[in-house]
Structure 1
């Protein structure tokens, strides 16, 4: 199928077998029918008052099974004197596109009209114009991204295009977190909002719980106070109220009372809604599953034979069930060329020129994971930043240890984490992304390499790494943990880890820091421990199944996922280093590790995060 956008901003949908579609005779007949209706023996009328469309029966019958059956049967429409035929369920404009396609194998629609293409798909399915159906399907699938998914899904449901509706529904489920924050959600009518809240599986990242759905409903009601004049049960019954917290339900009641008072709704009966926990009609729970996408990107690779390969810019994603930790689905994508990446607020920020030190500006591309899945790097979200912006520091200090405070919109750069540079600065920067502000904090007390920085409930920690590193190749892994004292603007040591580790992996769950693997001064480690900042105590946990160095640890619900990294094997008394593609899962509740899945590529020094 060929899709073309011409200078008049038209979408051209063309048959996949264009060469074998219309012959010269059909093209000539099309010219005849468009000029004074020459040789036309039938007129097609749609579901409106527009002028009927002239056509020739033999052309329609030759290219549509629907019209073939109509004209070759004994139906009244097959009689020569029955010249005007009404096609129910299709408007005249859509019908004109179909007739044009039947004659010349292509049709042109105004651009930016995905809904009209969906209407055209539904009509071509009904009239059994398979090539046009295929062309519409390919076009709509190419349009699919996080901005269009909701509209496409609802349109496909409305037009009863079941196959596409299921495809688009899965996309909406996978990227529910970003879609639910869009302005388009607030513009939905009551029926569509009920459909959205009724999804049995949604991806809300690490914010996944029923309270998030209640907050979404509340935002929608705030934006649509007139909905209080309607029957709210269709949307209220789509919330699993038994899974929502009491605090959330109380907030819902209070806010709903304010909305009803401000809207002066006469038909709204507050008492029918407020007592949610006791109302059987509002407490029909269904089994909603919450998922979270775990993304892995970049990394050094090797083959199964253990040979190292260059850095990769490929990306792969696994959608995880937050309650069970199991993999629901996997997919992967590929970036062409060299890029630098930063994950922030559920998006992936990409720069292709961050290492060009002579540049005076930097181009930053903002991608949702949905954009990446569609290999859509040409999205209109690119900004060019000069040397005075925080983005310049973010991408030109890639070697620094990054710590992201998502809640406050702050990124911390805590000393250079790589010993590939002769001067290892101890500098610590606080970057306010939203306000484009950079503040220098007190430097680290000593030079470190291969350490990690992490934010836990607003507190900034620096863990492990190497001190007293020298270019002679000797290094000294440390167990030291530093915490920034905001009151006195200085770094203070807290309880050290039980094991010294460099290139370790860390994750935060429920205000606690989990540390895994890395290297000691002797060997790669598979040890795991957890730190409780409120008690200033480290506790040893079950070790991973294999040693992992330069891996990543990602938290999803009550599970930890150790991904990739470098390890070693012993065969015939000889030790060989290998790069891993395995992922293992730790259940915080049960305290044990088990195999989770295998990545498509072997990776170490990867970037991994949840969305």
Structure 2
């Protein structure tokens, strides 16, 4: 007996009938008690079973859905229309999804056998037989071609121009199978064809793949123009990012020098050009000018986007002013006067910005710190940004663009009980000012701050209340709220919050004879969820592994257990890069040596729920991992010589991981050994503090007066 899915609704009913929509029981009773109705609907109860588990009734309150059902045509059964009268029930039978796949498999076999094909696509001498109906079903381009009266609608052979034969074959195969089979080398051509034929799904997949695997320093200019022409926003953004980060190399390439004036000014006007000084931007403009004589007439438009007030006065005088093209164009003279301070500054005096890694944490010499330092991975330079508004130990930190939030910690380092704080401060990197914001509901330290969907979440840590609840902060209203009674430990596969080291607040019996808190698990945000990773493996009740992974949905308050790490660990550092979670270092329990420093790095793919091992690094714990400029940087922490009880040392070396090559390399050294640090990537003005001989840049872009007045 074959089972069907039924959708029952009362079509062709009067307005009076629409007020009384049939329910399931009434529909079944109607079929049983009215054999004439059943006969008219050609329902053979011996061969067709009503599957009540898959019956959906139109139960809208006689609204638009009911009205639409009333106006719909009779449902054809057995190839003939059913003449329905008042009181009849319309039945539409929908086969299971597997039947649909069989139909398309059959159509594909017919195509491959050239059976019942009614059109042949011709491309550069190659022929692809197809069915018009299938092509029209997956592409609005072909639907318009075959249904709008164009001459191709009646032709047996249709010529396709501007597309490679391989690409046509890939798209036709997708129309019949739903599968795209191509190569990396053909990806750009496939993307262009999917745009041309308006196949949105393939276009998105191609764009996502190219963003992840194709864009590099050698093709970023070409792909930037390509993406803009084909309205691929993600690919355009990634290509621009490459041009900005590698501008010192890109501006000498032939593709860059061939850019139109519109595309060139888009690049030169970016706030994020990675240049050691503005002189390099002017040199790029000069190379573009010399490339083609026709560029001379547009040079004024280009010079407008070069920040001449940031160029050194000597270079401005000896190089820029001496150019004939500058002397000849009046608009260029206006920009020179502005750079000299003879006219008020416009946006050309605004410094370009770059992302740097900002660091907060105690040093080897002192508990707690009020220093706020930055590290530029490109120059390997350190500088003090601005002192913290208070001396603190074990705070949490998160950044979004040029805004940074610092919260919690111990305001009296070295004093455990009663020293936690709920204070939060916001740092504006553009003006280098600290501002006091609303305090958290709970005092806590050794916790995590993460940004997700425009909100900020305070997760884990320890305080006077022991296990702290999850709190959410709304930057638009400057308010905190507790996310119900959700606590990390209760949903993390442990009895209370036994995820790590001994708590410094009131102790709670976990059932394992120890007292712990969630300060040693990692928390990251990805795709609408908070991910909780790891914890101390030797302290779990019933020997539960410390490699556990769980995700939390703040919108639904639902927790989900995921695949555990291959190596249980605590005090590791996690970050998100290109949609994957990377966990570095930490401590794990060795059968012979006890606690041992982990040199392993694991990567979690949320799409497959699987962990894979990456290249190992130097190994450390109580450190920080941060993503900056597309790479992972590991700073601070402690490296152990031998097992946990042996001599240990503070790690000063900064290590950098490249995902494309799966390799680690040294990226610099810290100015001071730091333990238990927090790092984030923050956008800062690149030319902060530049001492201009002409103009008053420092007065405009540096905080004035005593910085303590800003707290």
Bigger proportion of residues as strand:
1
What interval of TM-score do these two structures reach, taking the shorter chain for normalisation? 0.3 to 0.5
- TM value normalised by structure 1: 0.44
- TM value normalised by structure 2: 0.39
